[in-house]
Amino acid sequence: MNISLDPWIWISALLTVSIFSFLYRDNPFYRFAEHIFVGVANGWAVTFYWHNILVPSLFDPLFRRGQLLLIIPFIIGILYLTRFIPRVSWLVRIPIGITMGYYVGASIPADVQAYIIKQTQGTILTSQNFQAWNAGNMGVVWSIILFVGVICTLSYFYFSKEHKGVLGITSRIGIIFVMIGFGAAFGYTVMARISLLIGRLQFLLGDWLGVIH
Amino acid sequence: MAVILLIGLIGVAPPTHVRAYDTPDDGGGSIMVEWHLSQDDAILDGYEIYRSNDGDVYEKVGFIGRNRTRYEDSNTEDGENYFYKVVALKDTLKMYSQASQPVMSSPQWFDLPKLNILIACVIFGGLILYFVYHARKGKELYIRKIAGLQAIDDAVGRATEMGKPILYTTGTGLIGDIATIASLNILGEIAKKCARYDTQLINPHLDPIVYTVAREVVKESYTQVGRPDAFDPDSVYFITDLQFAYAAAVSGIMVREKPATNFLIGWFMAESLILAETGASTGAIQIAGTDRVPQLPFFITACDYTLIGEELYAASAYISKEPLLLGAIKGEDLGKLIIGAALIAGSIIGLLTKLPILNLFK
């Protein structure tokens, strides 16, 4: 056993243990760590946005280099603060509208490409897609399973009709495919979470207590 | 040793046929350089790309490994002439190619390879507009029942009877995430129910912009049901924009405020299980929904009801019966039929003919 003498390791370790104590129940140690966590996160965020975004991307170019067009995003940004002045608080809807419009406009073509065009391309039954599985003759089988799964899953998410008759059968098959997918995702994600836990335990038992190397 | 000596004596062959052209279908600021491989490509370290404005003085702009015949210089000024040379590099030996013809970069209005995306957007957008138009005209649009939504009234009622608050989190998504926007629509409807029944709403946020929008949504909902006075500005608040600090804080709220109902609806990452498990341990009814596939299994495991993927988008339409949202769901449904038809037709063509059907979906 070789306990660390580094005060920062001790602070990290005690905060980690405090957060873990929530597994037992809510307690003053957890509350202390939680508030420290939130406070530090906010302090870090304010300085990060100030030094990495506001100053280099807005204030310096606008006020020092005279790039006057930046006055437009500056004013739009300022409008977010109008909600603190009740008489003009309605102005906050202008930047909200601009931000939402921009993000939705940017994300829709990307989503159509990633979730519709590319997935359709990968699902169509062709000899090229059979080979993409790299599974020899089984590529045909996997492609057909994928094809049936996609069609049936689409039918499950069809909202305009009650799931009865043929639609009832296909949607039931579809939800089975969905659940199999979730099962795989569950196992995969749990493995990733366990590796995070192992990382913390290695820190506690290795860096802090020196029990393991 | 003999090979190295030979290379030292006669050098290496330079690449040939260097061609530079404006990168097609881009926003400008980029030139593509292509060449034929050096005859000694197999022994090279790679190729260096040199650029000049006047054809006299060249500066190195990039390096690429051997057996490569293309390099994109994505740091050019539009409207300026550039000459390029490609250099075969072996240790300290350099063999320069002939200079390319002058070329200048320029932006294009249309990204032609993405024409299929534009067509898909126009088709789906047109369908949605068509159904929105008819919904506004008063046409009845049917949407089937969704299990999780049937429980919302019960969940709000339970909180009211118990005199406990309702916790609603939109997750850790930004305003550009469709799940977040869908969640904000649902939040508006739940806020209306809270206003009617005088139930306390707790709505903590991770993103400052989502918080600002959510605050307006909740305030508007209270006004719409005639209870603007009941809106508590402190019920919608920002916590922090760090994921796990947010998860720690919301977990704390769950165990201290003990909400009767937790709504975990929106865009979630690893915090999904932390929140869902903590909520379950407090005995609250939990209704979750997200389109994030890796997080859905955790919600299904730890929550009472889960809106899976597109059910989340349909949910806001189902609850609100807003013509705009109903029309969108109907349009999406028809879009799914078109996708299904495209899959079947594409497969028939792909299996029976040699037409390059997959190229339509590149």
The mean pLDDT of B225-252, rounded to a whole number, is 95
The residue of B181, B241, B243 whose CB has the most chain A CBs within 10 angstroms, and thus the best one to mutate to test that interface, is: B241
The mean pLDDT of B195-211, rounded to a whole number, is 95
Q: In Å, how far from its chain's centre is CA B227?
A: 36
CB < 8 Å to B117, chain A: 109, 112-113, 117
pLDDT digits (tens, 9 = 90+) for A69-106: 999 999 999 999 998 898 998 999 999 899 889 988 88
Cα of B122 to nearest chain A Cα, Å: 11
pLDDT band, very low/low/confident/very high, at B301 (cuts 50, 70, 90) = very high
pLDDT digits (tens, 9 = 90+) for A4-51: 999 999 999 999 999 999 999 999 999 999 999 999 999 999 999 999
The mean pLDDT of B37-60, rounded to a whole number, is 94
Could you tell me the two tokens for B159?
Answer: 């909180």
Question: Is domain B2-96 given the CATH code 2.60.40.10 in the classification?
Answer: yes
Which B residues 244-263 touch A at CB under 8 Å? 244-246, 248-249, 251-252, 255-256
Lowest average pLDDT, out of A151-160, B194-203, B310-319, goes to B310-319
Cβ separation B116–A125 shorter than 8 A: no
pLDDT exceeds cutoff 70 at B4: no
- Domain B141-321: CATH architecture, name and number where available: 3-Layer(aba) Sandwich (3.40)
pLDDT exceeds cutoff 80 at B110: yes
The mean pLDDT of B233-241, rounded to a whole number, is 94
B357 and A CB contact within 8 Å: yes
* Nearest one of B274, B282, B265 to B301, comparing CA atoms: B274
Do the Cβ atoms of B259 and A63 come closer than 8 Å?
no
The Cα–Cα gap between A213 and A71 comes to 56
Which A residues 123-142 touch B at CB under 8 Å? 123-129
Cβ separation B117–A113 shorter than 8 A: yes
* Nearest one of A169, A150, A9 to B342, comparing CA atoms: A150
Q: In Å, how far from its chain's centre is CA A27?
A: 29
Q: Which residue of A has its CA nearest to B258?
A: A26
Say which DSSP state B353 is in.
S
Do the Cβ atoms of A185 and B296 come closer than 8 Å?
yes
Q: In Å, how far from its chain's centre is CA A193?
A: 15
Question: Helices in chain B by DSSP H: which ranges?
Answer: 2-10, 115-136, 147-162, 178-197, 208-224, 243-257, 271-281, 296-302, 310-320, 323-352
A48 and B CB contact within 8 Å: no
pLDDT band, very low/low/confident/very high, at B317 (cuts 50, 70, 90) = confident
Task: Decide whether B2-96 matches B141-321 in CATH topology.
Answer: no
Tell me which of B141 and A144 has the higher pLDDT.
Answer: A144
Cβ separation B176–A106 shorter than 8 A: yes
Could you tell me the two tokens for A125?
Answer: 């039954």
The mean pLDDT of B135-145, rounded to a whole number, is 86
A19 and B CB contact within 8 Å: yes
pLDDT exceeds cutoff 80 at B2: no
pLDDT of residue B42: 92
Tell me which of B310 and B84 has the higher pLDDT.
Answer: B84
pLDDT of residue A111: 87
The residue of A182, A188, A190, A200 whose CB has the most chain B CBs within 10 angstroms, and thus the best one to mutate to test that interface, is: A182
- What are the extents of the domains in chain B? 2-96, 141-321
pLDDT digits (tens, 9 = 90+) for B346-360: 999 999 988 888 888
pLDDT of residue B5: 47
Cα of A207 to nearest chain B Cα, Å: 22
Name the burial class of residue A92, with classes exposed (0-12), middle (13-18) and buried (19+) by CB atoms within 10 angstroms of its CB: buried
CB < 8 Å to B241, chain A: 41-42, 45
pLDDT digits (tens, 9 = 90+) for B330-339: 999 999 999 9
Cβ separation B248–A19 shorter than 8 A: yes
Cβ separation B298–A186 shorter than 8 A: yes
pLDDT digits (tens, 9 = 90+) for A130-166: 988 888 889 999 999 999 999 999 999 999 999 999 9
pLDDT of residue B10: 59
pLDDT of residue A135: 81
A3 and B CB contact within 8 Å: no
- Report CA dihedral (B137, A102, B264, B301) to the nearest 10 degrees: 100
Cβ separation A185–B270 shorter than 8 A: no
Nearest CB to A42; choose among B120, B240, B295:
B240
A173 and B CB contact within 8 Å: no
Cα of B196 to nearest chain A Cα, Å: 24
Which A residues 65-104 touch B at CB under 8 Å? 80, 83, 92-93, 96, 99-100, 102-104
Tell me which of B5 and A183 has the higher pLDDT.
Answer: A183
A163 and B CB contact within 8 Å: yes
Cβ separation A160–B144 shorter than 8 A: yes
Do the Cβ atoms of B68 and B89 come closer than 8 Å?
no
pLDDT exceeds cutoff 80 at B8: no
pLDDT exceeds cutoff 70 at B236: yes
Could you tell me the two tokens for B270?
Answer: 């690893």
pLDDT of residue B63: 96
Say which DSSP state B173 is in.
-
The mean pLDDT of B242-249, rounded to a whole number, is 95
pLDDT exceeds cutoff 50 at B93: yes
Do the Cβ atoms of A111 and B351 come closer than 8 Å?
no
pLDDT of residue B313: 86
pLDDT band, very low/low/confident/very high, at B1 (cuts 50, 70, 90) = very low
The Cα–Cα gap between B289 and B177 comes to 14
A150 and B CB contact within 8 Å: yes
- Report CA dihedral (B238, B244, B245, B247) to the nearest 10 degrees: 60
Cβ separation A183–B351 shorter than 8 A: no
pLDDT of residue B356: 86
The residues pairing with B36 across neighbouring beta strands, listed in sequence order, are B16
The Cα–Cα gap between B36 and B51 comes to 18
Backbone angles phi, psi at A7, to 5 degrees: -60, -30
Written as one letter, the residue type at B85 is K
CB < 8 Å to B351, chain A: 125-126
CB < 8 Å to B296, chain A: 182, 185
pLDDT above 70 covers a percentage of chain B that reads 97
